[in-house]
Chain A
């Protein structure tokens, strides 16, 4: 179910993404360096598409299915997510 989108800070989104991506990769969240491209951890294109669905579900936000390709690490993805949520809230 979707959660309130307000008050989501970039650090919170970073933590959410690290947690979720760690599940995909069967690693600990602390092992995911926000600056390292996810593909280097073996995060494949199928998982990237799935992650997009997770974001959609948890944040009630529709993103391009290629979002994890264009923002290839946790830091970039968190920033993009924060921005999208903000413009969603504003719009």
Chain B
């Protein structure tokens, strides 16, 4: 069962002194998660209103779970998207990720459709809006209303600089004209954040962001377009909006006119670093589901768990979750601590984490076998998560768009940062430590600095090499450092045409390899900061060695086999957390059930 005591107000500290007292942030997030788990209940218990069984039924009907939405309304989950300064609960990006993970582990569609869309919209306003816009938006959200974010025009994909939707200056305000497509909650949102062309000139100074408050619009000048039917997230209300000479006041514009692209790229740094980590909950569920299957099923007179391939797959999936969570942790905490460096980290998270989570689901499906194809029953949630998860790689930044964010920064980082920058501060890797508020104004489009890679370089001299696991970790880390050296050389040699959106596939591969290195640096950082702490698993070199080994192999490094103790340690942990209902991530958090 669950730990008790739920906080009632945004800043009420839970009863009793926690192990992380200073500002109380950790106690608050732990209480909030417990509150969510209590309200949503054990997802495997079919009697529960928000159980997998009920969520699957809602999905079959292409609806969001009514009870799920009701529960989140009751919990005022929207408050988690509103900065505490404006009356909400949002203090940190990494803690928001942890809270949302509880929703995503049950239903990705609910996570996106209930809330994340509103968060994505709101970040534009928190970072660049006027005080009045912020207050108004906070009011809407705290009132339980939804806000949509409408960047997309199908014709232009992620090349949104080419977007055509217009906000034409007229009569002291703007006239909205055009169509936005595949917009989550377009039909039921109280306001829409619209990425709009305010000048016909080509280039990146011709767009602005408009916050259109539905209540103030002429209803005859816009219409909601029919819903899309999608393969996954079938419950999400994906539709479009069409405007015809619809007036909005000048006060609806967020940020300066013509600065829309820049504004969007800043907001993306927060959303890209945050959302993939939320979805980690879905792969946690998949791992939990398949672990249960492997323990219960007999094949070749053995349980599936005794089959080496199955056992290894479960251990490596857990490892992938730890790797993804480490990168996600470093990137989300970097928003607070290293905001100038966040653009590459956020792009790396949005590129690599959905990819690794999706690949892990595929590996797990092999263990699950034919049941992976069944839409109902005990394992039905697996196929739903498999269908829903790829949506994360679409949305507001496809994988290639994220690589394109990294590419122009490679040569600059190679010249100015790698092997010379100072390592990131340890707090970037400490999951439970308080952080200062999000410095929205310091988020930068490019900085030429990279403390995360510097942590990797510094660690090579610091990592111990006493035990076989430590030696394996150290050996893999050395190879990763060599890899950074190679990436540096290749980045310095990039021809101009390879530093554009039309760069060669090899350049895109360079961005991929760099993202893998950032993940490795994050893993090392998390392990180092866990030394001497209360989490003995995170402090154990077994997972460090296995994670670096896995990332190294991903890069094509030929590494000696790991000591068997590494997989055994991971395997034992997978089983222990399965039986104790604790999360497969950096937090080992108690779950309902």
Contact = CB atoms under 8 A, between A and B. Distances in A.
Whether A associates with B in a native complex is yes
Nearest to B495: A23
A53 B445 CA distance: 12
Interface residues of A, number: 27
B203 A53 contact: no
A47 B204 contact: no
Interface string A45-66: 1111110111011000000011
A37 interface: yes
A44 B404 CA distance: 11
Given A46-B404, A49-B445, A37 B412 contact: no
Nearest to B502: A44
A48 B204 contact: yes
A81 B445 CA distance: 20
Interface residues of B, number: 29
B399 interface: no
Given A24-B497, A50-B499, A45 B411 contact: no
A38 interface: yes
A20 interface: yes
A49 B202 CA distance: 16
19 contacts: A23-B495, A24-B500, A37-B201, A37-B203, A40-B202, A44-B159, A45-B501, A46-B503, A47-B500, A49-B408, A50-B411, A53-B409, A53-B412, A54-B496, A65-B444, A65-B445, A66-B204, A66-B262, A69-B203
A72 B497 contact: no
Contacts of A23: 495-497
B204 A45 contact: yes
Contact of B496 (A40, A45, A50): A50
B161 A44 contact: yes
B203 A38 contact: yes
Contact of B408 (A37, A46, A69): A46
Interface of A: 20, 23-26, 37-40, 43-50, 52-54, 56-57, 65-66, 69-70, 72
B203 A52 contact: no
Instruction: List the 4 closest A-B pairs by CB distance, nearest first.
Output: A39-B202, A50-B499, A49-B408, A39-B203
Contacts of B203: 37-39, 69, 72
Please indicate which of the listed interface residues A20, A47, A53, A56 has the most CB atoms of chain B within 10 Å of its own CB: A53
Contact of B205 (A53, A54, A72): A72
Interface in B245-284: 261-262
Contacts, number: 83
B255 to A, nearest CB: 13
A52 B446 contact: yes
Nearest to B503: A46
B67 interface: no
B121 interface: no
A49 B261 contact: no
B415 A46 contact: no
Contacts of A48: 204
B149 interface: no
Nearest to A40: B202
Interface string B191-205: 000000000011111
Interface in B387-422: 404-405, 407-409, 411-412, 415
Given A37-B203, A46-B404, 18 more contacts: A23-B496, A24-B497, A24-B500, A38-B203, A39-B202, A39-B204, A44-B501, A45-B261, A47-B500, A50-B407, A50-B496, A50-B500, A52-B446, A53-B499, A56-B412, A69-B204, A69-B261, A72-B203
Contact of B446 (A37, A43, A65): A65
A40 B162 CA distance: 11
B500 A44 contact: yes
Contacts of A66: 204, 262, 445
Interface string B73-112: 0000000000000000000000000000000000000000
Contacts of B411: 50, 53, 57
Contacts of B415: 53, 57
Contacts of A47: 408, 496, 499-501
B408 A70 contact: no
A37 B199 CA distance: 14
Given A39-B204, A70-B205, A20 B261 contact: no
A20 B495 CA distance: 11
Contacts of B499: 24, 46-47, 50, 53
B370 to A, nearest CB: 45
A37 B161 CA distance: 14
A65 B161 CA distance: 16
B558 to A, nearest CB: 34
A46 B501 contact: yes
A39 B207 CA distance: 14
A50 B415 CA distance: 13
Nearest to B201: A37
A32 B289 CA distance: 59
Nearest to B498: A50
